[in-house]
Chain A
Amino acid sequence: MDYVRITILIAFFSLLAGPLCGEEPFAADEGPSNAALVYWQAFAMLPELDTEETQLLAQVESGDKPVAAAKAILSRSGMANSLAKSVTPKTDCRWDLIKSGPGTLLPHLGKARLLARLMVLQARADAAAGNSSAAVDQLTAALLVARNVDEGVLIQMLVGDAIESLTLAAAEPLVAKLDAKALDQFADALSQLPPRTTVAQAIAYERDVFGLWLRPFLTGDAEKARAMLAGDDNTFDIKGLLGGTKAERTRRFDEFISAYNKMIEASKLPPEKIHAEFERLELATTKSSNPLVRLLMPAVGRANVRHAEVDKSMAKFEKTVKDAANAAERKD
């Protein structure tokens, strides 16, 4: 019987040995699971631009100076650029904001904007050097930064819009110079980008960020709320915000949320009506007797107009690239 057991054990381990011997010693790298962490590494490697260099960057972007004038800036941006380009459209991007109402920190926005500007600068340099494929890579990576920044609140949407506008300004003149392969590459990359946030989504997100933070102050114990907000009197006009009975405070809060909901509804109107409706709502916001609405409601009308313009420009550009790719394919 012992011999039988030993034989079974030997056979069992022999079966295991085969697959184990063929296995890789290290697991394959699956890549980053959160693009925001890769971007933060890129932000950490951003060069510090002085006033002169910031002005130079703006001058190159406006066409007042050639891209060659910014060579020194480009040489210091390589690592940040390389890190950002390692993000793929399939990688999830979660900035994981700590939602603290109006005090919610968004330190990534300024840095994302600078990173994207430097990426577009590199694209201009690649295009000037005749390296179209590299320029296309840079431009699509910059558009991906825009889509990944455009995650939640209105300001994120606006920074995303600004990055897309900047990228389109560099990309549009390039299309005519691209060969069939580069056009295909561009069209394919554009189709894989994550979708843009809508104004309705951004306003709803902002309503929730402010609303969740404000509710306990306004509908709960006023004295506790005053103690927690102590020191914010200049900004919040505490007396106006927390004054009155609980019923009055609750009404004030409900009006605030209702104002946001009206803006969400306005954003779904047909294009010919949306602009006028937002203007009307924005005017009502500035004249509101509710201190919450006056202080905290953003300039949504302006944000909506800007976002709609970029929507149009982006759609037009995607069509231009697709048509050019198809035309180039037919020629071949």
Chain B
Amino acid sequence: MNDDTPSHNPLEEQLSALRPRQLSDGFAQRLGERLERQDGEPQGRRPLGTRFFLPVAAIAVLILVALWLVQNFALRENPLLPKQEIVMPGAESHEPPPPQTPGPTLFAYSQAIASGNDGLDELLDRHAATLLPDVPVKESAGQRWPSIE
């Protein structure tokens, strides 16, 4: 384009006659001012707050979202999956649960006497244990006494 060699091509002659538009004086001044403003600030670097907090905030948001997803979906039973029951050894017992042992009250022993000697011995054996069955306490008008239920 800057070649000064004469050309016999009319188009080329036309094109070589064209000259770039001249920049205005104001443009050069504006450019200089902009360059001065950017001095001392590395080009392309964002402020400290943006550089640090934005990524941290983004990670925090991701973690929260992940936790929410796990809690609400991953830990729930998936209805499409078959249930898996883990049976402990010996858990197949079909024995009924032991009857509730009455507490060591006068009424309980009186009933045991009336039922026969074996009932009384069995009850006394159970009451020989370190931890006795709980006896509910009734309270009324400032008085407390063990319930005989």
Show the binding face of A for B, using Cβ within 8 Å. Answer: 46, 48-49, 54, 98, 100-107, 109-111, 113-114, 153-155, 158-159, 162, 206, 209, 224, 227-228, 231-232, 234-236, 296, 298-299, 302-303
How many A-B Cβ pairs are below 8 Å? 101
B136's nearest neighbour on chain A, judged by CB, is A231
- Bound Cα distance A101, B107 (Å): 8
> What are the residues of chain B within 8 A of A231 when measuring CB–CB?
138, 147, 149
> What are the residues of chain B within 8 A of A234 when measuring CB–CB?
149
Q: A46-B128, A106-B106, A235-B107 are in contact. Are A158 and B120 (CB under 8 A)?
A: yes
Check: B145 CB closer than 8 A to any chain A CB. Answer: yes
- The listed residue (A54, A114, A154) touching B113 by CB distance below 8 A is A154
Q: How close is B129's CB to chain A, nearest CB, in angstroms? A: 7
- The listed residue (A100, A110, A228, A232) touching B124 by CB distance below 8 A is A110
B110's nearest neighbour on chain A, judged by CB, is A298
Select the residue from B132, B135, B148 with max chain A CB neighbours within 10 A: B148
> What are the residues of chain B within 8 A of A227 when measuring CB–CB?
140
Chain B residues within 8 Å of chain A by Cβ, number: 29
- Taking a contact as CB atoms under 8 Å apart, the answer to whether B113 and A303 are in contact is yes
- The listed residue (B106, B113, B125) touching A104 by CB distance below 8 A is B106
- Taking a contact as CB atoms under 8 Å apart, the answer to whether B107 and A103 are in contact is yes
Check: B1 CB closer than 8 A to any chain A CB. Answer: no
Can you name 23 A-B pairs with beta carbons within 8 Å?
Answer: A46-B130, A54-B125, A98-B145, A102-B106, A102-B107, A102-B110, A104-B105, A105-B135, A106-B106, A106-B109, A107-B127, A107-B132, A110-B125, A110-B126, A114-B128, A154-B110, A228-B138, A231-B147, A232-B138, A235-B107, A296-B107, A298-B114, A299-B113
